[in-house]
Structure 1
Amino acid sequence: MPEGLITKALSGYYYVRDGDQLVQCRGRGILKNRGQSPLVGDRVVYSMTDNGEGSVEQILPRDSELIRPQIANADLAVLVFSVIRPELSLTLLDKFLVHTEHARMDALLVFTKMDRIPEGEEGARIRGDVESARDLYASLGYEVLLTSAHEGEGIDALREALAGHINVFAGQSGVGKSSLLNALIPGLTLETNEISVKLGRGKHTTRHVELVALPSGGYLADTPGFSQLDFAELGIDQIGSCFREFRALSSGCKFRGCTHIHEPSCAVLEAKERGEIAGSRYNNYMNFMTEWKETRRRY
């Protein structure tokens, strides 16, 4: 039987890409009986039915699986953050990175709307914050791109970075994900919304997960915008391991399972005191640990 890649799931149908053809499929009841649910990104075995539609017969083994967004076999998280309206939030960025690291995926950081930065004192402040953030995350091993969908800044570099991957394209609502996608793929027209001045955030313009084929090869998942992420699926000892600089130092801590908060002879705390760990990163870590405890109480 033929094999293909699920590129979209909508209204009970799975759209399977097999070479140049896109086959509309239903999932077989046997999958439900096994407790299996196909996801966008799944490689599947399918068969054709008499009515011209397909039927998903088998889900092939997954390399990865994300819960939010629900997607299989993604290997690169493209985290999109605007530098203005809404302003760059390192707290939200670190939260996305925790979830990306927990999923054992690499991350590409994309800062958008560089062309919207105003002149004058406010613009100088924003540019300074952006440069500082780029330097910080680059020092941790993340690739950081500065882009403008309208001016074309950074688009070629972004296109090159995405080639050959199944990329999860994610970020807060209103940061310009759809505009970037439109710039990346000529002829693609995705709905975009301006930021609400009253609320300071955008409306969700993407309502389902879909893999979009890239001209340079690979796929890009345009995912529904996020307004929040929680830590319910993480253990308390996993949050620290999702901070790259903490993970590298943790073997030097005196106690196994060190929380890097109050323990003596903690390599992370010692590095923080020496100024080797950014204050914003450690403060966000502390806030996430508090949020984890509050989340656990609710469950």
Structure 2
Amino acid sequence: MPEGQIIKALSGYYYVHEEGSNQIWQCRARGVFKKRGISPLVGDYVSFEPSSNGEGTVTEIAKRRNELIRPPIANVDQALLVFSIEEPEFNQILLDKFIVHIEKADITPIICLTKLDLAATLDGIPEEMEIYQKIGYEVFITSSKTKIGLSDVEEYLKGKTTVFAGQSGVGKSTLLNELDPSLQIETGEISLKLGRGRHTTRHVELIRLPSGGMVADTPGFSQLDFSSIEAEELSGLFLEFRDYSEQCKFRGCLHQNEPSCAVKSAVEKEEISSQRYQNYLQFLVDIQSEKQKRRY
């Protein structure tokens, strides 16, 4: 039975790129998946049974390395978190929220700061970028207008499957156009090739880049609440907390009000960013509030 990868899901059909060929099969999923409460996802590696006219049926889904629920996609290597210096202004708490959800899904976060041309000087780059580099995150600073940093991003996407994330207006579509000019995605206008413009993407699709690698074109990240994250695991999603957490006096320390907390001590010594810590506390309150609501 042939195998392949689902590269698009639309209106109950799954478009499978057959392994070892250029053929795309339009498939339905076996009814047994629905009975088991399983839905095939874009990015899934599958076995399928061909029928006629390029159609077929997905019969098996291979074990996933990871998955996201919204957008629904599986087997992603990394997430390019796209934020702009200005228009809209850089938003650190939103970036940290994205990072937490991406870390939770066991996907590697990469930070891409766009619109460098709007910074009057290099001093215009948010100083927070240095914090993320120190933590160990890959950070790219780019300008689609002046082409700065674009080749570095392109090189980093080679051979990997990358999902793009970021708020509207930060330059995701512009960046995708620079990576593959044939996409012709236009802000506020309908794309000649893809038949969509701003906010019109309604399905998830994997696009193969000319330089290698695949990027996920998605309707966006619509689930950034904390319903799937427990208070006890939040600390582990802040990478710089991990080593310090092991030194806390109490096992399961939430780094909130507990005495002899190594994380709070590291914040006081400026070994951990105070802003990142404040964002952590805010997320912790959000998680505890949601849990309280569910209880009642």
TM-score (structure 1 length as normaliser): 0.90
Q: Which stretch has the larger CA shift, 266-275 or 148-157?
A: 148-157
Tell me by how many angstroms 1:213 deviates: 0.5
Contact kept, 8 Å, 1:172 with 1:227, in 2: the verdict is no
1:190-219 Cα deviation digits (max 9, x unpaired) = 24239xxxxxxx952432211110223221
Distance in 2 between residues matched to 1:249 and 1:162, nearest whole Å: 32
1:151 corresponding residue in structure 2: 146
Note the alpha carbon deviations across 1:213-272, whole angstroms, 9 max, x for none.
Answer: 022322111222346610000010111111011112110011010000111111101111
Q: Which residue of 2 aligns with 1:247?
A: 242
Q: Which residue of 2 aligns with 1:34?
A: 36
Query: Which residue number corresponds to residue 264 of structure 1?
Result: 259
Q: Distance in 1 between matches of 2:146 and 2:200?
A: 22
In structure 1, the residue matched to 2:194 is none
Q: Quote the Cα distance in structure 1 between the aligned partners of 2:58 and 2:186.
A: 30
**CA shift for structure 1 position 131:** 4.4
Instruction: Mark the runs of 5 or more structure 1 residues left unpaired by the alignment.
Output: 118-122, 195-201
Q: Does 1:3 align with 2:6?
A: no
Amino acid at match of 2:76: A
Residue 222 of structure 1 pairs with residue 217 of structure 2 = yes
Match of 2:293 among 262, 287, 298: 298
- Any runs of at least 4 consecutive aligned residues in structure 1 with deviations exceeding 4 A, and if so which? none
CA contact (8 A) 1:173 1:226 kept: no
- Counterpart mapping for 1:1-299 below 5 A: 1-18=1-18, 19-117=21-119, 123=120, 128=123, 130-193=125-188, 204-226=199-221, 229-299=224-294
Q: CA deviation at 1:5?
A: 0.7
Paired residues, what number?
Answer: 285
Q: CA deviation at 1:129?
A: 5.6
Q: Which amino acid aligns with 1:5?
A: Q
Matched-pair contact (CA < 8 Å) for 1:231–1:291: yes
Q: TM-score, normalised by structure 2?
A: 0.91
Once the two structures are TM-superposed, the CA of residue 51 in structure 1 deviates from its matched residue by 4.5
Task: List gaps (5 residues or longer) in structure 2.
Answer: 190-196
Distance 2:124 2:219 in 1: 27
* Aligned residue type for 2:81: L
- Cα shift readout 1:54-111 (whole Å, capped 9, x = no counterpart): 2111111111111222111001111111111111000000111111111122111001
For the residue of structure 2 that corresponds to 1:145, the secondary structure is strand
The aligned residue for residue 199 of structure 1 is: none
8 Å contact from structure 2 (residues 70, 220) kept in 1: no
Structure 2 letter corresponding to 1:212: I
Could you say if the C-alpha distance between residues 90 and 242 of structure 1 is closer, same or farther in structure 2, counting changes exceeding 3 Å? same
Aligned equivalents of 2:222, 2:48: Cα separation in 1: 36
- Identical pairs, percent: 52
SS at match of 2:24: strand
Structure 2: distance between partners of 1:21 and 1:133 = 45
Provide closer, same or farther for how the CA distance between residues 4 and 79 of structure 1 changes in structure 2, counting only shifts above 3 A: same
Q: Which amino acid aligns with 1:272?
A: V
Distance 2:53 2:223 in 1: 42
- Secondary structure of 1:187 counterpart: helix
2:192 alignment counterpart: none
The amino acid of 2:2's aligned partner reads P
Distance between the aligned counterparts of 2:202 and 2:169, measured in 1?
14
